C-alpha cells in the first residue's frame, strides 16, 4: 500500500471545527420556549429574539446560515411545549330546573297527658260485729252478710238477726230501684267441695226469698260458688285459720244501678 505524502497546511488557513456559539445556542433555546433570551445566560437585554433562520424543530444547513454564524441544530426539548389550558366548563342546571326539598318532619313526639286512670271510689261501712258490710260505688253497691251471723251452723236457715238486717237492706233496694240484683253464696274449706257448693246455693236462695218477699217485683238472681273464691287464706295459727274461715263464710248481695 502506497503512502500518500501529507501536505502541511498552515494553521491560519486550516478550517476550524464549527461549534455552536453560546449566543446562538441561547437564542435557539429562547425561540423553542417562546420567550426572550434569558439575560442571565447572555448578558443581553431580555428583549432579544432568535434570528429568523433558527426555526424550532429543524436543522439549519450551513449554506442557509449568515456569514460568520455557526451551524446550530435546534433540537426539540425533552419537555413538549405546554398547550393552552382548555376553558373550564361549568355544569349549570337548566333555567326551568326545580330543587327537590324533602318534606319537613316534625320530630317532636306527641305529648301524652300524665293523667292516671281514675279508680272507682268505693266507700265501705260495716257494723261493729261485722254482721253486714256495705261497699258503695257510683255504679253499684254490695252488701256482704256474715254467714256466722245470718245462718245457723251448717244450715241455710236464717237467724233472727238476719231477718232484721235483710229488712233494712230490702228497704234500701226498694228506694234505689236497682236494675239488677245478684245474690252469691260462699263457704269455707271445711267439708268436701260438693257439700260446700250445695250449702252456698241454699244460703243464696234463702236470702233471695226474703228480699223478694219484702220488695215485690224485685229481680234477684242467685248463684253458689262454694269454697272457690275465698276472701282470706286459711293458713297460719289456729286463731288465724278461724278468722279466715269466718270471713269466707258469707253471702254477697250486689245491686247494679
Note the pLDDT tens digit of each residue in 194-219: 999 999 999 999 999 999 999 999 99
Q: What is the dihedral of CA 162, 165, 171, 177, to 10 degrees?
A: -80
What is the pTM assigned to this prediction?
0.54
Contact present, 223 and 182 (Cβ < 8 Å) = yes
What would the pLDDT profile of 147-179 be if each residue is shown by its tens digit?
A: 999 999 999 999 999 999 999 999 999 999 999
SS3 64: helix
pLDDT at 188 over 90: yes
Sorted by where each starts, the structural domains of the chain and their CATH numbers stand as: 22-64 (no CATH), 123-256 (3.30.1330.60)
| pLDDT tens sequence across 52-75 | 555 555 555 555 555 554 444 444
Mean pLDDT (the chain) is: 75
DSSP assigned state of 59: B
Instruction: Render pLDDT for 70-110 as a digit per residue (tens, 0 to 9).
Output: 444 444 444 455 555 556 666 665 666 566 666 666 666 67
Among 68, 65, 43, residue whose Cα is nearest residue 52:
65
Please provide the distance, in angstroms rounded to a whole number, between the alpha carbons at the two ends of the chain: 156
What's the pLDDT band for 227 if we cut at 50, 70, 90?
very high
Locate cell 234477684: which residue?
Answer: 220
Amino acid at each position: 500500500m502506497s503512502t500518500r505524502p501529507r501536505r502541511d497546511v498552515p494553521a491560519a488557513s486550516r478550517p476550524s471545527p464549527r461549534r455552536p456559539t453560546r449566543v446562538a445556542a441561547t437564542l435557539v433555546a429562547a425561540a423553542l420556549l417562546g420567550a426572550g433570551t434569558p439575560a442571565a445566560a447572555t448578558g443581553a437585554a431580555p428583549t432579544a429574539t432568535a434570528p429568523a433562520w433558527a426555526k424550532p424543530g429543524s436543522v439549519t444547513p450551513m449554506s442557509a446560515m449568515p456569514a460568520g454564524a455557526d451551524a446550530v441544530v435546534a433540537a426539540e426539548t425533552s419537555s413538549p411545549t405546554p398547550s393552552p389550558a382548555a376553558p373550564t366548563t361549568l355544569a349549570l342546571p337548566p333555567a326551568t330546573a326545580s330543587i327537590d326539598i324533602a318534606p319537613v318532619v316534625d320530630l317532636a313526639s306527641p305529648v301524652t297527658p300524665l293523667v292516671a286512670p281514675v279508680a272507682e271510689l268505693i266507700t265501705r261501712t260495716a257494723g261493729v260485729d261485722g254482721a253486714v258490710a256495705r261497699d258503695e260505688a257510683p255504679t253499684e253497691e254490695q252488701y256482704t252478710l256474715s254467714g256466722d251471723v245470718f245462718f245457723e251452723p251448717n244450715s241455710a236457715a236464717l237467724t233472727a238477726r238476719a231477718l232484721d238486717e235483710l229488712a233494712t237492706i230490702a228497704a234500701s233496694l226498694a228506694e234505689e230501684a236497682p236494675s239488677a240484683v245478684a245474690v252469691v253464696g260462699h263457704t269455707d274449706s271445711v267439708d268436701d267441695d260438693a257439700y260446700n257448693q250445695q250449702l252456698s246455693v241454699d244460703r243464696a236462695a234463702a236470702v233471695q226469698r226474703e228480699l223478694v218477699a219484702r220488695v215485690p217485683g224485685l229481680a234477684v238472681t242467685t248463684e253458689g260458688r262454694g269454697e272457690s273464691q275465698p276472701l282470706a287464706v286459711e293458713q297460719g295459727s289456729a286463731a288465724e285459720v278461724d278468722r279466715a274461715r269466718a270471713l269466707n263464710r258469707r253471702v254477697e248481695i250486689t245491686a247494679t244501678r
